Chain A
């Protein structure tokens, strides 16, 4: 079993929809939870990060962490065609800064 599981999609939604992206994990030592966005043929870029459990909001994006369930989510409100990308969850904790990534969810927002 992988340490981090993420539905690869693809996920196709109409413009303006609310998008929900999710990851589950197995390592209870993880403390930092991140969402990266990766456009085609580009490097990942950090979108959101949270520490421990709770919610964090930044514009149209909301990240949620539920450590008791080992489940994290990213919500995108009023989705735009420019949001079309692969979204990777990542997390770390414990003794190193090593990031463990999910496999990514490919999102397509249709105009």
Chain B
């Protein structure tokens, strides 16, 4: 158990809908990362937050947004869902130390999103 929790475990919804995925980082971690894992694209970095502020952005669609709250939990909002958004969404956390130093990321169990 990494100490990172994600809810819900599974989510089934329809095209055009909006969903919210939730992540609680490990105790003491300030940084949260969101990843999307699909069969054809592998694990893709979406976005990073550090202590409430956006730190880095990856291949995140405009229909997706995220935020990190004062208690450091994070939410990933996916809107106008399409069939191709079906994937596993992982959250990871770490201390978020400055770049140039190794910084292991601890992954949660993921949320499996199915868009019908």
Contact = CB atoms under 8 A, between A and B. Distances in A.
Are both chains from one complex?
yes
Interface of A: 32, 34, 36, 41-46, 49, 51, 88, 90, 94-104
14 contacts: A43-B4, A43-B108, A44-B107, A46-B105, A49-B102, A49-B104, A88-B42, A90-B43, A94-B99, A97-B97, A97-B103, A98-B56, A101-B43, A101-B44
B45 interface: yes
Interface in B76-101: 90, 92, 94, 96-97, 99
Interface residues of chain A: helix, strand, loop or mixed (majority)? loop
A5 to B, nearest CB: 11
A83 B8 CA distance: 28
A101 B108 CA distance: 16
B2 A96 contact: no
A46 B104 contact: yes
A84 B48 CA distance: 30
